[in-house]
Amino acid sequence: MKKQVYLDYHATTPVDPRVLEAMLPYLEGSFGNPSSKTHSYGWTAREAVEDARAQVAGLLNASPGEIYFTAGATESNNISLRGVTRQPAGERNHIITQSTEHHAVLDPLRKIEKEGWRLTVLNPDPEGFITAAALREVIDEHTLMVSIMAANNEIGTVQPLRELGEVTKEAGALLHCDAAQAAGKVEVDVEAAGISLLSISGHKFCAPKGVGALYKRKRGNRVRLEPLALGGGQEEGLRPGTLNVPGIVGLGEACRIAREDLEEEAARVGQLRDLLLAGVREGIPDVTVNGPADTARKLPGNLSLSFRSVDGSALIVSLGDLAASAGSACTAGNAEASYVLKAIGTPGELAISTLRLGLGRFTTEDEVHYAVGRIVETVKKLRMGR
């Protein structure tokens, strides 16, 4: 193959041509500000935004009025976590999370802890799961919020949100969920799981970068949030600023496509992932798969592989025609094991020899066969050179 094969769908995804087509009118003639109420340009923009709001709600089994548009999951996470805790810690002064969360959750919570809140950080089991039993051991009448991601961005673990939601509800606490990796790839149902707050990013499922959404429950156990920014009053004052209409339209269209095609696409991508794994295992029998052994409890496109006696940074460099990621954060001359792999007990030698592969909507079978050949060839060469 002459072009690079893209296998990094956890980092970002290409924009679906149908999404781009839906956006284009709002980058051209229909360029109005949805806050303009005195002419058709504004009315047209407002209608497009509300249509998209309904499309996002449809994907999550929410109500349109519970959807707020943001720049992405990082902002949505901060609005959720900081917005709930922008009050003195009262009787409910306790927050629970897990050590494998994205830094967009861990970093705000560490700051909140310094401000006087009590924080419990659970370690997952060796497959990356937080069980209902583990949560029940630490949750109590003082717990205000539990923050557990829907699916992990490195090892693909899809958390048992319904079970965790039941435990959280029993304690009278709120459940926050970073669903950046899960939305549009696996079912995310805020009602079934009893989720109070949820964050998504459009660019993780074929919408453009720079647009996302926050779900905030208004039914039953309603959530009160203090905004982090002021000015303009857009999105009920929760996220002020002129709305990114083209991006929002793109996010809505991506949600519509995902809702219609989710089951079929998940099956196809999962088959490609299994084909990739089978090919690598045939050529390299001692490869280690990180994350859940049961693929039904794993993101369809996720494959985290560790190769004993192979330097992870050298592997990435040698696979220059495969766009993939290492399972470790590497600096010049010093490889540090991924905190996610550390948390699930991966031995250090394997943790720094890890390749994260992400397959998605536009991955082809030919690309998978090519990737298998390149990975097997490269790992064997690197081992021979030791």
Distance CA 79, CA 133 (A): 29
What integer pLDDT is reported at residue 335 of this predicted model? Answer: 59
Domain with 117 in it: what CATH number?
3.40.640.10
What integer pLDDT is reported at residue 331 of this predicted model? Answer: 37
What integer pLDDT is reported at residue 132 of this predicted model? Answer: 98
266 and 253 co-located in one domain: no
Last residue of a domain, one of 241, 257, 273: 257
What integer pLDDT is reported at residue 332 of this predicted model? Answer: 37
What integer pLDDT is reported at residue 386 of this predicted model? Answer: 58
Distance CA 210, CA 23 (A): 14
Structural domain containing residue 362: 5-12+262-384
255 is catalytic: no
Last residue of a domain, one of 257, 285, 303: 257
Domain with 355 in it: what CATH number?
3.90.1150.10
286 and 165 co-located in one domain: no
What integer pLDDT is reported at residue 384 of this predicted model? Answer: 85
Last residue of a domain, one of 257, 292, 327: 257
What integer pLDDT is reported at residue 205 of this predicted model? Answer: 98
Spans in the chain with pLDDT lower than 70: 1-2, 89, 327-335, 386
Of the candidates 177, 206, 255, 330, the residue annotated as catalytic is 330
- Total structural domains within the chain: 2
300 and 233 co-located in one domain: no
Q: Which value, to the nearest 10 degrees, does the dihedral of the CA atoms of residues 249, 253, 256, 262 take? A: -130
353 and 210 co-located in one domain: no
278 and 246 co-located in one domain: no
67 and 201 co-located in one domain: yes
177 and 270 co-located in one domain: no
Please tell me the pTM assigned to this model.
0.94
What integer pLDDT is reported at residue 287 of this predicted model? Answer: 95
Distance CA 170, CA 93 (A): 17
| DSSP notation for 141-186 | TTEEEEE--SB-TTT-BB--HHHHHHHHHHTT-EEEEE-TTTTTTS
244 and 353 co-located in one domain: no
